[in-house]
Amino acid sequence: MRDDVRVTTLPQTDADGAAPALELRRLGLVVHPKREIDGALDRIRAWSAEHGAEVVQIHAGDHERVVADAGDAASCDLVLAIGGDGTTLHALHAAAECDRAVLGIACGSLGALTAVAASELGDALDRVAAGSWTPRRLPGVRLVDGDGTTRVALNDVVVVRQGAGQVAVEIRVDGDVYVRYAGDGIVVATPIGSSAYTLAAGGPILAGSSDGLVVTPIAAHGGCTPPLVVGPGAEVDLHIEPGYGGARLEFDGQIEDEQPTELRLARVEDHATLVALGDAESLIAGLRRRRILIDSPRVLARDDRKRLGDPS
């Protein structure tokens, strides 16, 4: 019989940062809406049958794909995100509300948030059950809108023009005006989010160990509006004038109907938890593997000459 009111807590780490063994009695699934995931599901079901664990599906995002009976994250011992980074973000939001860890499973190439490929699932679950894993605590961006509603994004909060024309943005940091400009919008991102929209908008990447946020104007029209990195305790206030075409809010990549005018943002620590295994790569190493960071052609050409024994 299902016990939907059972509540477990995320185990405390030891002095080395490792987590103790988790008794995996119930696994919660968050799945990609369209990607091929049958292989991952087969491995999860086989592992669960062998170890006497129950599998339920957690509602996260607007996904309608059904692969298991419905359950809630609070009743699960571990949440499994099956798909890619977007699916893992949905799972992290659901799991953060009840302090559960998320194991990101890549059905495709590994991303920034997925820890294992589908083919490695059995071994990964064995390692989590044995305590051979490390909780990777993720910060977020706390967003308070003009109505006082509070939410936390893990990647970024974006304000972008909705149609023709520009939006005007005033950025204040701890009460001081940083800059006022007109352009396409603004991105406020965590270190993980800094390698996504922020990077595309010309902002810096924050290394995974960075303790701040990055604020990046999008296509500012004139003036001097460089991206700004703020410290962990800073408060960023945005005053937005939507302009003729209006503006929209994007919260971790999800487009919202709200037209923002006043936003208050700050970093919040340890908002969500990812399962990290011992051989997990760093944020920067992952960006190089995925060729988001690429060496300059001159350096690559020099490497080719050395490999071919060309002395020139």
Three-class DSSP labels, 128-189: HHHCCCEEEEEEEEEEEECCCCEEEECCEEEEEECCCCCEEEEEEECCEEEEEEEECEEEEE
The whole-angstrom separation of Cα 36 and Cα 299 is 38
Tell me, what amino acid is at 151? R
What is residue 185's predicted lDDT score, i.e. its pLDDT? Answer: 96
What is residue 19's predicted lDDT score, i.e. its pLDDT? Answer: 67
Residue 85 appears among annotated catalytic residues: yes
What are the extents of the domains in the chain?
A: 26-132, 140-271
Q: What is the pLDDT of residues 264-283, one digit of tens each?
A: 999 999 999 999 987 667 78
pLDDT beyond 70 at 2? no
Superfamily of domain 26-132: Probable inorganic polyphosphate/atp-NAD kinase; domain 1 (3.40.50.10330)
Q: What is the pLDDT of residues 58-114, one digit of tens each?
A: 988 776 788 999 999 999 999 999 999 999 999 999 999 999 999 999 988 778 888
Burial readout 140-159 (b: 16 or more C-beta within 10 A, e: otherwise):
bbbbbeeeeeeebbbbbbbb
- Please pick, among 4, 42, 62, 85, the residue that the annotation labels catalytic: 85
Q: What is the pLDDT of residues 4-31, one digit of tens each?
A: 333 344 555 554 555 668 899 999 999 9
Tell whether domain 140-271 is in CATH 2.60.200.30: yes
What is residue 38's predicted lDDT score, i.e. its pLDDT? Answer: 93
